[in-house]
Amino acid sequence: MRRAGFYLTAVLVLAAGSASAAGIDLSKPYGNKTGCINKNGQKVYAEDMLLLTDTDFITIASACTFTEKQVQADGSLVAKAQCQAEGEEGQSTIQFTIKRNAKNAKKLVIADEDGTIYGEVSRCR
């Protein structure tokens, strides 16, 4: 019985490693054209700006800091964030789902908990 528990533990550890390996790597920033231009600070203004990093999701009207991230079985990433909207006081909690584009795996799609898609981003150069 003890040996079966060991093997089960080993299988669970390997499965967890696979899920994380198949997950989304945000060690380098992702953005649309304007987001990538602004990755090191605001250089240009555009209504459609999107910038996604390991710690933040920034649009032209809001800045969100991730407080928790979980890799899902399908490889997508669910991230809870504290967000500050431009012109508003206080912060709100929003949950985002970040997943690979079905037609182009190099692009990521970002949506909120209601399914509203914020847009697509590519790895910044």
Confidence band (pLDDT; 50, 70, 90) for 120? very high
What would the pLDDT profile of 34-69 be if each residue is shown by its tens digit? 999 999 888 888 899 999 999 999 999 999 999 999
Question: Percent helix, strand, coil in the chain (nearest 5)?
Answer: 20, 40, 40
- Output the average pLDDT for the chain: 83
What backbone torsions phi and psi does residue 108 show, to the nearest 5 degrees?
A: -110, 145
What backbone torsions phi and psi does residue 40 show, to the nearest 5 degrees?
A: -110, 25
Angle at 125 between CA 98 and CA 118, to 5 degrees: 30
Which pLDDT does position 22 carry in this prediction? 52
- The pTM of the full predicted model, rounded to 2 decimals, is 0.79
Report the Cα 60 to chain-centroid distance in Å: 17
What backbone torsions phi and psi does residue 66 show, to the nearest 5 degrees?
A: -70, 135
Confidence band (pLDDT; 50, 70, 90) for 23? confident
Q: Regarding predicted confidence, which is higher, 95 or 12?
A: 95
